[in-house]
Amino acid sequence: MIARTLSIAYVPGTYAKKRPEPAETAARYVQEWEARRRKVSRREANEEIPPCICVSRKIGVGALEVADLVAKRLDLRVADREILERMRGQTRLDEETVKFYDELYPGKTVELSALLFGKKSFQMDDYLRNLVNAVYAIALLGPTVFVGRGTHLLLPRERVLAVRIVAGDAYRIERLAALLKVPAEEAARTLAKIDREQRAFFRKAFGKKDAPASEFDLVINLDRLPTPRLAADLIARAYRGRFAEEPGR
């Protein structure tokens, strides 16, 4: 999902802070996952996926910046859309993740597939199955902040703090225009295109037209908060409260 106008290209998740390249981070996660798989062949059947934060957002609100702040406070890893896309295309990872997950949670692979896809064949079945595998490969490594790709719909709901970050068009346009150093009109056209692509993805992937507030534990409107740090504080507090009895929380 890269939106292009006559003079700019914007990848959702971009912001001013210098971050590791997605390919490097994805490769590191794959190495960690493979090391874990070699070390752990089978766990107790009742072992649970570590608690995660799944951030859904309106494009352009600065959700990845908030996620990085949350991860720093809680000592969690971050997996955004770009990292998941890099991992999703690795066939061996996909196949081994299915096998490994099925060993940890016998029968859950079939249950999850039925929950997500049912009996109906969707155009994006292969894409989604590979995306699910990438999400679970990262989730099994340890507590993670996921950003985008509807991950709150993929992971077990009881193991997720589901957060929605929103803002009005004026906020998003002003932020993108400042980030890319382009006129507001150009930023508005870019966001409109990305919004259409995001809606199309959720229609194809999940058969959903929108993201209702009832899906989430916490909805944050950045129009009403002065800084991303305050949003990060709220999420961190909610995470600690949601999983207060978890070891190490």
Q: Mind listing the pLDDT tens digit for each residue in 130-143?
A: 788 788 888 888 99
Question: 105 lies in a domain?
Answer: yes
Q: Total structural domains in the chain?
A: 1
Strand 9-10 and strand 3-4: pairing? antiparallel
pLDDT at res. 236: 97
The gap between the terminal CA atoms of the chain, to the nearest Å, is 35
Is residue 11 in some structural domain? no
Residue 2 pLDDT > 50, yes or no? no
Q: Which domain holds residue 51?
A: 22-242
Q: What's 192's domain CATH number?
A: 3.40.50.300
Closest CA to 29 of 137, 186, 166: 137
- Residue 38 Cα distances to 34, 35, 78, 207, angstroms: 6, 5, 23, 37
Q: Structure pTM?
A: 0.79
The average confidence (pLDDT) of the chain is: 80
For 117-126, write each residue's pLDDT tens digit: 554 444 446 7
Beta bridge partners of 92: none
Residue 174 lies in a domain: yes
